[in-house]
Each structure stands twice: as structure tokens, then as C-alpha cells.
Amino acid sequence: MGGIVKILLLAAIATGAAWWVAELPGRVAVDIAGYSIETTTPVALVALALVLLAGAFVIRLVGALLRLPGLSGRWRMERRRRGGEVAITRTLVAIAAGAGNDARREAHKARRLVGDTPQNLLLAAEAARLAQRDDEAEAAYRLLANRDDAALLGYRGLFRLAVGREDWAEASVLATQAERAHPGANWLRPERSRLAIRTGNWAGALELAPRGPEGAALAVAAARAETDPGKAAALTKKAWKLDPTLTPAVLDYAVCLRDAGKEKTAQSVLRHGWTVAPHPDLAESALRPLTVALERAQAAQRLTSANPQHPESRLLLARTALEAGLVGEARHQAEAAEGAGLHQRRLYLLLAEIAEAEAGDPSVGRAALRRATEAEPDSAWRCWSCHAAFPTWHGACPACTSPGSLRWKAV
């Protein structure tokens, strides 16, 4: 209703204006190049309006013709932009579908239409990597790395390629450059730690490791690789403080104390290690200074006094008692170890030795040997991450490179 009222009002105003112009008195005469034109005032006003309208049309027409090249360029740019967006979408779909060659083709089309934007370079690199064209992927990643606004994307892609071909030295350099380009990136710290482990840079891995078992294991490995005795001793002590249950840390720290002439402190460290985490190597280190069998048996009792019920304690007491000729005590401790849940091969081999020392019924020894062939395997260093087992300890699992993952347990 309001629109109709406005139209009627405008029509009334236009009619009134036309009526007013038509009623204007007077005449208008114009002389142009020898021609004389004379007309009434209303006609002259209408003619003037038509001339002005024609002039405005001509001006607009000329402006449109002048703008035509620019408009054509913008139209072409818009067309290329829309085509590039379609190519980018198709590239993403092809990557998601695992179609590497299709993704490469669409990525090249997007670069041709839109240019080497960071998004297009990243898509082109990922498409090339999916198609196993590492040379193309590396070229695109290097273009990204040379840009200030997308350097981290390039370095991370180059890092992945270097890791894929196991070029650890190049990967280390790229990780450092990525850290410089984007300090504090969450993925960098664990990757740099793994690289340090792979290249044997235990000190560098230790700097990146958290406190606790992982740091303790890396500190032991760094100490064993250190050529400066003073630094090695400091690292060994640090490892022991970080994780006093880690047998290699306890053993190495005890060796450092012995080398410094502190045998009593070394024995105290070994006893504490046995209390919290018994291990045969701790007993071997603690009893090493003694050569008399009876003294070794007495030292074993002192070592195990704080944890006498543990199967490892029972097994150690049985072994040292047998060596000292205390056959009855040896059998008592060995059977107590079996009663405590130890059913490993080494126990039954020891029982066979005890039976031989008793010089009793030979069938007892043969029975122990048969049980040894059917018994559980002896304890070993086992990775909690990949579950691989190793006869000796390592600062990181040789199979999966997880630091501090080896623990002494039954396989």
C-alpha cells in the first residue's frame, strides 16, 4: 500500500511539473553557425533536457569503453580463481581417496590457475609424496621453506622426507631450522629427541627429555658415551637420583664411588638398589670384592636383609650358600624361591646343582633338569612399548627407539 501511494505521489508531482513547464510563457531564439532556431520556452527546456541526457549517455558509453580492458582482466582473474578453487577441492578429495596421480594433476592445475600460494604448494607437495614423487615434493617443500609466512610447513615436510629415507643428519639440520622458524612447536621436541637417540647424541637427547625414568636412562647412556670422567660421574649421579630403581644407574654410580675410594658408600647404594629393585647384576657388583665363599654368603645376607622374601633374594642366598658348601640352606632358599612364584630355567638348573652336591638320589637332579627344559625363560630386559626383549640394557629400545623403555622382567 505504501509503495502505491509513493508511485501516485511521484506521478502527481511529475504531472504538475510538466503542466507548469507547458504553461511557461515566452520564446527562445538561438543562432548557431548562421542558423537561427526559435521555439517556445517549454519546447526549449525539453530539448535541453534531451541534450543533457544524450551527453550523459555518451559520457557513460565512453567510460565503459575505457574500462572494458580492466573489466575483461578482472573477469578472467575471477574465472581463474573459481577454476583454482575447484582444482584445490579436487586435489583434497584425491588425497583423501589416496589417488596420488589424480591429486598431482589437480594440484598442478591449481598452481597454474591461482599461482604458488602456500596452500597450493602444500597440496602439491602432499600430492607428490602420495604419488611417491619425492623429488617434486621436495621442490614444493623448499619453496614453502623459503617463504617467511609458511617456512614451518616447508621444513616439516622436508623433515618427513629425510626421516623417510633415513637421512638422520639431514633430518637433524631440518629440525633445528624448523625450531628456528617456529620456536616451541609441539611436534619438534619429541622428534628432535628421537633423532638425537638415532644418531647416538645421548647428551642432546637428555636435554630434551623429561625428568624421571626416561631422563635417568638417557643420563646413563650419556655418561657411558662421555669422554670426560668428571662429566661422566656427574651424569651417573644424576641418573641415580632421577631413578634409583634403574639397575644400570645404580651399578654405574657404585662404580664411580668405588673409583673415588668410597667402597662403603658404594655398598650402601647397591643395598638400596636391591631393596627397591633386586637384580642379579647388583649382587654380582656387591660381592665382587670378596673371594672367600663363606664371606660372599654372609655379604649376600647383608645385601638382601631389607628384602629377604623377594625371589631374587632367595635365589642369591641359595647360590652363595651352595658355593659355601651350605647345601641344606641352599635347597631351603631355592625351594622358597619356587614357592614365591619363581619358575624360571635358572632356578631349576640351580636345583639340579644342589641335587648333585647332595649326592643323593640321581633322579632328583634329572627331574630338576627336565623341569628346566620346560620352565619359563629367564628374565631379560624387555621394552614396555614394543615388547621386544634384549639380553643387555640400552638407554633406548634398539627396536623402537623409545627412551627408558627397557625393564627387567620375565619374557
Tell me the per-residue pLDDT of 20-32, one tens digit each, with 9 for 90 and over.
555 556 665 666 6
Would you say 329 and 302 are in contact if contact means Cβ atoms under 8 Å apart? no
Contacts of 306 (CB under 8 A, 6+ apart): 271, 274, 275
Task: Copy the grid coordinates of residue 150.
Answer: 609458511
Q: What is the pTM of this model?
A: 0.67
Low-confidence ranges of the chain (pLDDT < 70): 1-2, 5, 8, 10-39, 41-48, 63-73, 75, 212, 411
At 58, list the grid cell: 555518451
C-alpha cell at 195: 633423532
Domains, the chain, in order of start with CATH, read 77-180 (1.25.40)
Residue 272: alpha-carbon gap to chain centroid? 37
CB environment 74-88: b (16+ within 10 A), e (fewer):
eeeeeeeeeebeebb
Q: Are 161 and 138 in contact (CB under 8 A)?
A: yes
Q: Tens digits of per-residue pLDDT, 355-392?
A: 888 877 788 788 888 988 888 888 899 998 888 989 89
> What value, to the nearest 5°, has the Cα angle with vertex 306 and ends 289 and 410?
80
The residue among 294, 351, 356, 367 whose CA lies nearest residue 325 is 294
* DSSP string over 348-398: HHHHHHHHHHHT--HHHHHHHHHHHHHSBPPEEEEETTT--EESS--SB-T
- Residue 386's contacts (CB-CB under 8 Å, 6 or more residues apart) are 397, 399, 400, 402, 405
Output the pLDDT for position 14: 57
Return the pLDDT at 234: 93
